[in-house]
Structure 1
């Protein structure tokens, strides 16, 4: 009888253990909770990196209140465009959508270039993805950037 009680107690202890991820700290400050840059290069990561995902192509908005990057789920191979926005002194993570091209913002922050595609900033976030159309639809564009003078650079 004592061994049965011990086994039941052990099972209850094991099954009641929480396997949820730890609560992540609130990110504050001008660099998504990271130490401001110095003269020595360091890895920049808004959250702890895990083997289940790979973060890539990070960049700040011109006003430094948004940080964007692409995230690959190493389990299914799908890429997502992630953003962190500074709201009320804390950085909030959200998913913009599926990654299309290599994202980069225009100097005024109103257009997000996505290779052969783009999105325009709206009052509620970003527009649907639009195509650059001809003649760009026939060109393989890895990254498109624009200058403050409205010149476009294709890579």
Structure 2
């Protein structure tokens, strides 16, 4: 009943948005007000986030919101993943700006993906193929921008020992500066989750996490809690998977042991295999995650030029969208932790 009610409410919201504040053809933005981009917060049922403005018919993923709740970064992909970049919207007063490509992520020759804001709100980390100099296109490295006097500075490459000649992905940072990320092991030809401690202003030699974090046949894009109490790991090939890649969670104790991974359940995971980007808000209230699930109510009833255009430009059409749910689900899963 709860899911049916949500589907009905979503249909009403989508209809109202399409008829008023957002025109899918011209992308006219009329302004959005309030916390969390003006969206009604979810409870224990996952909800599509910001339909037609942030979650559209294109591929969206990698949601990050600043600790003060006044800035949002997310990734959008187009052209069969040829063009991948980070969009940015911020709130002035109580009004949000229209999402625009982040000022340092406009060169179509490079990819920009996986934004993450540090717990203090002063650093923006992301992945890019930007070169270190004017040479050839680089591989996937971690870059960061600092917030100075309210503005984001020109990004810098994070450098060695975190970045290497191989590929690094999906930075996630704790309050003490420890960075968690995915590293492509060129010898094993596989991706694993690593972390590097930040001591006296320098990153230490990275360490590969244990088997309760590096799970399944493939794993990547792990999000770590600001207090390092848990880690969310998208993993493929787990025996209790709902289908394809699922989100799993492992909890950390005071001795730096990680619990056995727990599947995060059917509200978050689905039969869809494209679920590999999660984050939790700085206030710990909400979990955001990417999924490419389709909404049953979006089925085309009769094929026409208009119905195809409407379906193509609508969220929940099979491309990835951004969802959110109360982070109380994490407290519930904590009760299942086994060390």
Shorter-chain-normalised TM-score: which range? 0.7 to 0.9
How far off is 1:123 after superposition? Answer: 2.3
Greater RCO, CA 8 A, separation 6+: 2
Q: 2: distance between equivalents of 1:136 and 1:32? A: 33
Which structure has the bigger radius of gyration? 1
TM-score normalized with structure 1 length: 0.74
Q: Which residue of 2 aligns with 1:7?
A: none
Please list every run of 5 or more consecutive structure 1 residues that lacks an aligned counterpart in the other structure.
Answer: 1-19
Q: 1: distance between equivalents of 2:173 and 2:93? A: 30
Cα separation, partners in 2 of 1:23 and 1:112, compared to 1, 3 Å: closer
Does residue 1:66 correspond to 2:92, yes or no? no
* Matched length: 135
Q: 1: distance between equivalents of 2:49 and 2:89? A: 13
Q: 2: distance between equivalents of 1:50 and 1:151? A: 34
Please list every run of 5 or more consecutive structure 2 residues that lacks an aligned counterpart in the other structure.
Answer: 1-24, 106-110, 128-141, 183-339
Does residue 1:43 correspond to 2:48, yes or no? yes
Q: 1: distance between equivalents of 2:27 and 2:62? A: 26
Instruction: Note the alpha carbon deviations across 1:61-92, whole angstroms, 9 max, x for none.
Output: 11111111011133783122111111121111
Deviating more after overlay: 56-65 vs 98-107: 98-107
From 86, 96, 114, give the equivalent of 1:102: 114
Q: 2: distance between equivalents of 1:104 and 1:48? A: 17
Cα separation, partners in 2 of 1:28 and 1:102, compared to 1, 3 Å: same
Instruction: Note the alpha carbon deviations across 1:35-75, whole angstroms, 9 max, x for none.
Output: 12222101113617544x32211121111111110111337
TM-score normalized with structure 2 length: 0.36
How far off is 1:120 after superposition? Answer: 1.0
Superposition misfits of 4+ residues, deviation over 6 angstroms: none
